[in-house]
Amino acid sequence: MASLDPKFHEETVSIHKEHEELVAQLDQMDAALEQIVCYSEIFTDLATANQAPSRGKWMAEWLPRHYEHEETTVLETIAKMSPELASFAREMKRQHNEMRVRLENFRDSMEHLSETTDLEDAVNQIKKDGTNLTRMMRLHMAAEEKKFASLEN
């Protein structure tokens, strides 16, 4: 196995801080999704409902930079260390692409919510899709954090 780049620790600390920032946004997204309620096709709290698209917008703007940073530093470094780590890096990149698509689909659904004929069903689907997205992101970050920590020990 190749040795770690001297900047590896510095980059993993930077990635960890970015993950913490994202977790705070995911927490807000989950809270907003939980509070979206639909009664007789009227949202009970539009201010709360608007938090979900706001978090989605933040993520859509922030995540590409994070993914680029992670892929060109830590994942690129570990991919050179062994076939197993190269496979892990490829899987993390694949998941980045999948999460980009899911986030864009979620944002599109939120944007077109007012155009739906069955608002209750659309709200339930948005809540499900949003929760699945935040869960996937949390699991993804946990896998990365675990792998990065194991390499530094």
Rounded alpha-carbon distances, angstroms, from residue 60 to 99, 101, 152: 10, 10, 30
pLDDT in tens, the chain (153 residues): 456 767 888 999 999 999 999 999 999 999 888 887 765 545 544 555 567 777 888 888 999 999 999 999 999 999 999 999 999 999 999 999 999 999 999 888 888 877 888 877 888 888 899 999 999 999 999 999 999 999 987
| 126/103 Cα distance (integer angstroms) | 11
Three-state SS string across the chain, please? CCCCCCCHHHHHHHHHHHHHHHHHHHHHHHHHHHHCCEECCEECCHHHHCHHHHHHHHHHHHHHHHHHHHHHHHHHHHHCCCHHHHHHHHHHHHHHHHHHHHHHHHHHHHHCHHHCCCHHHHHHHHHHHHHHHHHHHHHHHHHHHHHHHHHHC
pTM above 0.75, yes or no: yes
